[in-house]
Amino acid sequence: MGAMYGLIFDVDGLIADTEPINANVTIRVLEEMFGLKGVKYEDFAAGYGRGAEAYVKAGARFHGLELTDEQAHAAAELRERYLVETVRKEGLPAFPGVLKLIRDALKSKDFRLAIATSATQELSEAILTAVKVPYRKMVYVSGSDVTKKKPDPQIFLIAIQRLGIEAARCVVFEDAPSGVQAAKTAGAKCIAVTNTVPAEELAGADLICDSLERVDLEILREIISSS
């Protein structure tokens, strides 16, 4: 029998605790390139899960600077270079429960797994390697494979197609409102984890939890099988 269930994992803020390093590096870039000072972690909230350029724009906009697309693109490129260097040098922690869930699902014949991340292939591979995710055993869709960012469902639709499992039998794991919206628009179920934003901002997910330690394969089967 082929796989009956598909699991699709976001990376930043879901598998790996990347938000602190994302913010620190972007704060550095905004100061170096545009002279912005006093930028804080929470100033990027409007850009969570929407890709690097939206993330950079959100932090700048919070401080009254509206970046052009060209400026945001240049800032995102520098940000990525700094991120890759930092991740490879310092490593990253995985969030509790996520690696066990991935490994358990990979051992089960009725699950197929995918990575779907807005990060580029170079950056996402550095992150996945740092947290020891066996991503080579999974379908892998990165920001390098898409033309539209979340909340557009493109990245999840590609992952679902490559898994070869109908959308309604797939669960997307997300930590950002734009990701939840994209997952539901793609026709998949969604489990949202409050790693990045509070539960009330993740409304619309089929399950909201504070840790993937609370999720196992039986819970996933129940969520997928429910109407």
CA angle 75/8/78 to nearest 5° reads 10
Round to whole Å and give the CA distance between 133 and 31: 33
Q: What was the pLDDT predicted at 49? A: 85
Q: What was the pLDDT predicted at 227? A: 61
pLDDT tens for the chain, 227 residues: list them.
466 999 999 999 999 999 899 999 999 999 999 999 999 999 999 999 888 999 999 999 999 999 999 999 999 999 999 999 999 999 999 999 999 999 999 999 999 999 999 999 999 999 999 999 999 999 999 999 999 999 999 999 999 999 999 999 999 999 999 999 999 999 999 999 999 999 999 999 999 999 999 999 999 999 999 86
Q: What was the pLDDT predicted at 127? A: 97
Please list, residue by residue across 130-164, b when 16 or more beta carbons sit within 10 angstroms of its beta carbon and e when fewer do.
bbebebeebbbbbbebbeebbbbbbbbbbbbebbe
179-207 pLDDT, tens digit per residue, is 999 999 999 999 999 999 999 999 999 99
Q: What was the pLDDT predicted at 2? A: 62
Local structure of residue 35 (DSSP, 8 states): -
Are the C-beta atoms of residues 225 and 5 closer than 8 Å to each other? Answer: no
> Which of these, 151, 137, 119, 139, lies nearest to 6 by C-alpha position?
139
